[in-house]
A and B are shown apart, each in its own frame.
Chain A
Amino acid sequence: MSSPPRSSDPRLAVAASEPLTAAALEDRLDELLDPVLSSRRTATRLAQAIAPLPRAHQDFVLHWVAVIARTNPEMAYQFAAAAPQALATLDLSFAEAWIIEAMDTYDREGLYRGSQVFKGAAEFAGRARRGSSAVTFEEVAHVLELFVCALSGRHMRLDTAAQPYTDTETLHLPSRLGLAATKENNFLLYKAMTTLMWAQGRYGTFNADLLAVCGNYDDPQHALAILNFLETVRLEACVARVLPGLAREMTRMRGGVELDPRCTGLCQPWTTVDDSIKLLAALYGDFTPPRHAYMATLQPEQAAAVRNARLAREKAGLQSVLADMLEEKDGHTPDSAGLPSGRFSIEGRQERNADGTPQYVLKLDDAPVHPPENVTQLIDSILQDLGEIPDDYLVAAGDGAYRQAARAEPQPADVWKGIYHEEGAYFYHEWDHRRRHYRKNWCVLRELDVHPGDAGFIDQTLGRYRPQVSQLKRTFELLRGEDKLLKRQSDGNDIDLDAVIAAYADMRGGMELAERVLVKRHRSERNLAAMFMVDMSGSTKGWINDAEREALVMLCEALEVLGDRYAIYGFSGITRKRCEIFRVKRFDEPYDTLVKSRISGIAPQDYTRMGVAIRHLTTLLNRVEARTKLLVTLSDGKPDDYSDNYRGEYGIEDTRQALIEAHRSGIKPFCITIDREARDYLPHMYGPVNWTLVDNVAQLPLKVAEIYRRLTG
């Protein structure tokens, strides 16, 4: 692993091998931790504890105190306090892992949890020793997510928590499992846990009001624990019917513990949560539930809240899509109430799906109809929750109250309202160069549409640059790859009769028979997709914004001639929780009036958090199939964001990292900037040649298309 970084402080560089004195350490710590020190809380004791350490360890501590203090001084203080003892048990590479875990926890769950990790160094050391066989959530999360999605078709989020539980939409798993002796078995534990929690949702554990049931006992917690065990028995039997291979592993993991004979009734296929509740009444009092390593816990409160919200949403959703189906069908005119007539019903069938859920036929006025995919998904999801579709769910709701309820779903713009601020958003990691580590799911990004502006802007621009536009179009036409018929080729797909006749004549005349007698169709296809990423930060206000929009108009005109696939997105945002990407033109959209009005609607917004924008657009660009993929940024300055340190080195390093990621995935990034100081930072971000400076803003409209031509010609 890496050696501890040298501190660049000249005072510390005097005698690099000599340990620092407590006084020198105190000076340094005073400086670094100043915001959280007071007359009662000084750095003296910290310095005294660090002083006996070898110099390498001292440097290590000071370096990380400095790094952490930039994120949060209190965390840095906690680290300094915990470090001397921790370094006695952890070597430096493990200590680094320990710091990273604490900082990740801080990022995710805040100061209290983060400092708990620092305080729990001994526990971390214990885990580190067992570490070789442990499996972390990070390692398995994606595989398990796919696994669960495959089981039911319903996408479920995975997250970490101290105790495994599910709220029926998110499966919470421990951040690390090291109970078993091998990595395989620890993974199996994760898999079994995940499957059981999936089964809780699938086989209706939360279909009863568990909170009320357990509330009737004098020790509700104990009752819940018994109920959890009984449900685990029942669900294991369900899992065994669907996934016998996994059930075998679970039996093995139980290590031959016999099932209490009183519980065997729960293994029958027809049992429901109500049978477990009945058995709970019989067992309560003289039964201690055994605990298996893969068991999850029950959190009925969270589950009920999430489940009810989902049911309400899906009921409204189903009613609304059924209304759409009716509208699409001829012959169903809206009746007097303004609702289309027609009665839907659901009929069960004998066949069952892979996971044992019933198949059904959707009928409209007793004639089977083929539901579109979104209807099928909703019905499946409701069936998973309720086991049936209640009749009132099948009432098609037109533009009535239900439709409005459906529309009242969280809009991206409502990001700050209520608890839905993370719904429907994309999450991206961010690179923290000081920690040399990603901050997980640090940025919350949303895609929004640009509010269409005045379409007249396009005509004005085209009028103003008319001669230049036609010139541009001509130069771009030259670039356009067209099929050419190459004559007199030695290989090809058809005969060049002229060449053959000439060859025969030559042969008769005693010359050699020419070989080049074929025609070949040569296709110089431009297999290229370009993504334009336009700076919509507040600093572009005024003529820069005008120049940007004009440049886009010229670019689109030229690209339409060329036929390259291209997309245009704007980016802006304020803080990591509100990064925004504005759709101007998607790859599959034509350059039409709507796109034109969006171009003219591009308006300055907030800040430039570039890293996350690049990561998102990289994802979009990578969905396009093309031999060459270009990511062209139009920018007016350095990456910058409001308040949280993004300005300066951090932002530049994160942007650089995002560009490295893009490059690794096969994208060629390029930057066109108008910032005269770009030379100081752009070469570091984009590489020495992948950027260009247009120092006269007025020239931007003419230059951008020209630069593009040079780039791709």
Chain B
Amino acid sequence: MTRALHARVLKPESRLIEKEPYYERVGDEIALFEAAYASQIPVLLKGPTGCGKTRFVEYMAWRLKRPLITVSCHDDLTAADLVGRYLITNNETLWVDGPLARAVRAGAICYLDEVVEARKDTTVVIHPLADDRRILPMEKRGELLQAPPEFVLAMSYNPGYQSVLKELKQSTRQRFIAIEFGYPDPTLEAKIVMTETGLDAENIDKLIKLAQMTRNLKGNGLDEGASTRLLVHTAKLLRRGIAPHAACSSAIAEALTDDPEMLRAVNELASSLF
């Protein structure tokens, strides 16, 4: 008896998130997002990696009952990748919408993850969509796509990157309402790790301490401290019976850095804690 190993094929614009994603409210971010949704203002989520930005968008998509289309931005992402392009079938050209155009048509939430990674010219195509015009010009088709009120443009941005190249242009950022995300405070973070993994409280407590210690090293050799996501990973390894030292080393230390001395320092922290 073999189970067919097929991934399910889903059309993103028609897929609604049915099960409530687990999300812990940190501040007033839910109210802010809902207000922005109601006022048709796009949203910028700022914060370090792994602190729950993407989970929050999923949660909001579920809450607002809108489909969610996520685009992971990379430095070769072109405007055509977002808007759409012609393909050729049967001696004819065929227009295929890009994810952004699909989201606009479906009144979905379009989430541009790590938007600074995209090329500068790509971010410009969202400008008319991100202000009160709310239109997506489709140059090649000579059309304008007017977004329905349900459409939400959301993007994430990690201000922690110190690179001059990876700054968001003022003309882009000033079109958005910005919601700042940080790491949750220790009690809440412990609750999150517990809910996600079911690890015992004592080990979670140690993990949270380790995370805070690595966050102390930010700017002193680490670009970022251990994120909540890394803690969840580590906790999952621990739950599967991996020894604490090995779990912290592979899920936290090695994930944070390649520098041998920093690796050793993080591993020493872990072995001091467990």
Which residues of A come within 8 Å of B, CB atoms?
142-144, 146-147, 149-153, 155, 191, 195, 242-246, 351-355, 359, 493-495, 497, 500, 504, 521, 565, 587-588, 623, 625
Contact = CB atoms under 8 A, between A and B. Distances in A.
Contacts of B208: 354
A494 B84 CA distance: 10
Nearest to B263: A143
Contacts of A195: 272
Contacts of B261: 142-143, 146
A493 B81 contact: yes
A587 B164 contact: yes
Q: Which 6 A-B pairs have the closest CB atoms?
A: A354-B209, A146-B265, A246-B272, A153-B216, A354-B212, A150-B213
A614 B208 CA distance: 41
Contacts of B270: 245
Interface string B225-269: 000000000000000000000000000000000000110111011
A587 B264 CA distance: 32
A366 to B, nearest CB: 19
Nearest to A356: B209
A245 B271 contact: yes
A440 B164 CA distance: 33
Contacts of B221: 146
Interface string B181-208: 0000111000000000000000000101
A495 B268 contact: no
Given A245-B274, A493-B80, A495-B85, A147 B269 contact: yes
Given A155-B220, A351-B186, A495-B87, A146 B262 contact: yes
A625 B274 CA distance: 37
B1 interface: no
Contacts of A246: 271-272
B272 A245 contact: yes
A157 B26 CA distance: 36
B214 interface: yes
A354 B221 CA distance: 20
Given A245-B272, A246-B272, A351-B185, A150 B217 contact: yes
Contact of A243 (B81, B85, B163, B273): B273
A353 B209 CA distance: 8
Interface of B: 78, 80-81, 85-88, 91, 93, 162-165, 185-187, 206, 208-214, 216-217, 220-221, 261-262, 264-266, 268-274
A347 B186 CA distance: 18
B81 to A, nearest CB: 7
7 contacts: A149-B216, A150-B213, A153-B216, A245-B272, A494-B80, A500-B88, A625-B163
Contact of A495 (B78, B93, B206, B266): B93
Nearest to A144: B265
B47 to A, nearest CB: 14
Given A144-B265, A244-B206, A500-B88, 11 more contacts: A142-B261, A146-B265, A151-B216, A152-B216, A153-B216, A155-B220, A243-B272, A243-B273, A354-B186, A354-B212, A359-B185
A666 B163 CA distance: 18
Contacts of A354: 186, 208-213
A149 B220 contact: yes
A521 B216 contact: no
B220 A493 contact: no
B241 to A, nearest CB: 18
Contact of B265 (A147, A353, A587): A147
Contacts of B87: 495
Contacts of B210: 354
A623 B220 CA distance: 13
A625 B266 CA distance: 25
B217 A191 contact: no
A147 B262 CA distance: 9
B78 A521 contact: yes
A143 B269 CA distance: 10
A671 B80 CA distance: 45
A150 B80 contact: no
Nearest to B217: A150
B88 A493 contact: no
Given A495-B85, A500-B88, A504-B91, A149 B217 contact: yes
Contacts of A149: 216-217, 220
Given A146-B262, A245-B274, A494 B85 contact: yes
